[in-house]
Amino acid sequence: MLTSDSEIYFETMPLYKYLSCPDDDLEKMEWVRQILVEHQLFFASRRYFNDPFDCAIPSLSQIPGTFLKRFVEEFVDRKFSNASEFEKLEMMSKLMSVNALEEIRQGLQDEVDRAGIVCLSKVRDDILMWAHYADRHKGLCFEFDGSSNCIFFGGAQPVEYEVYTSIPLHEDKNRQMTRVILTKSKHWSYEKEYRIFRPGKASQKLDYPIELLTGIIFGCMMPDKVRASVKQWVKDGNCRVAFFEARPKMAEFGLDIVRID
């Protein structure tokens, strides 16, 4: 927010990533180590998400005919501008067929599947996310600086929660892919999710600026052995972080996030 000719203030917005790190799962422990020591985040493909509807493109045949016809007309005009009117009509007829629509849908789905995605949240104390994504509260939660002026996490975009993923057919493929990746069912709205995605980078590890890792929250059921490993990796990676732990509240189903040494 601009306040004067000489001062610009940015809203501070921490973003959180829940992770499991069971000591008997070397692969998951390695993911945590890489974040802390190598300063890399894994950009996953949506094919490995726990929700099969997430980033899945619905059948184009379900789109109202008027919108679909307009999309096909614009597509043909762009791609075959020198064709005769008769040739354009023939191509439109073919593209409106079920097989052609499925081919278009599958092409866009392939692009989405090849995108690498990092899932984050605005909340750090949700007991369901601790249970689902942090190994039943035995894992941890990373805190990153998601302020808008940050070059990496500042690019995270909020997920919209809808009853249906409408595809902006009149826009280019990048905008269509963005819409698909940033739309989820309303059932997941409690997650308050933000996403960073990179086209063509699925299943790759990408560097993030070390200074943007600002905190680590230990789950209330994390074993001491795992906590010790995490603290050692923090030292090995020269991370400057604040440590917290999640503690069950006494009079309600909830967590307090408490700063510790």
Which residue is listed with tokens 């600002």?
214
Give the span between the Cα atoms of 214 and 1, in whole angstroms: 23
The CA distance from 223 to 137, in Å, is 10
Mean pLDDT across the chain: 90
Helices 98-113 and 173-181, packing angle to 10 deg: 70
Q: 198, 206 in Cβ contact below 8 A? A: yes
| Burial class for 3, CB neighbours closer than 10 Å (0-12, 13-18, 19+) | exposed
- Buried (b) or exposed (e) across 84-100, using 16+ Cβ within 10 A? eeeebeebbeebbeeee
Distance CA 67, CA 230 (A): 52
Q: At residue 62, does pLDDT exceed 70?
A: no
Statement: residue 216 has pLDDT above 80: yes
Give residue 5's identity as a one-letter amino acid code: D
Q: Average pLDDT for residues 113-134, to the nearest whole number?
A: 97
> 2 pLDDT band (50/70/90 cuts)?
very low
User: Is residue 210 within 8 Å of 238, Cβ to Cβ?
Assistant: yes
The pLDDT confidence band at residue 167, using thresholds 50, 70 and 90, is confident
88: confidence class by pLDDT, cuts 50, 70, 90: confident
Mean pLDDT of 192-217: 97
Average pLDDT value for residue range 51-80: 78
Chain centre distance of CA 70: 31
The overall longest dimension of the chain from CA atoms, in Å, is 75
Beta pairing, strands 213-218 & 157-158? unpaired
Tens of pLDDT along 24-40? 999 999 999 999 999 99
Check residue 101 and give its pLDDT.
76
Cα separation, 120 vs 157, whole angstroms: 10
Tokens of residue 42, six digits: 């894994």
Both ends of the chain: CA-CA distance in Å?
A: 34
Q: What is the pLDDT of residues 170-189, one digit of tens each?
A: 677 888 899 999 999 999 99
Number of residues assigned to the chain: 261
Q: State the Cα–Cα distance between residues 130 and 195, nearest whole angstrom.
A: 18
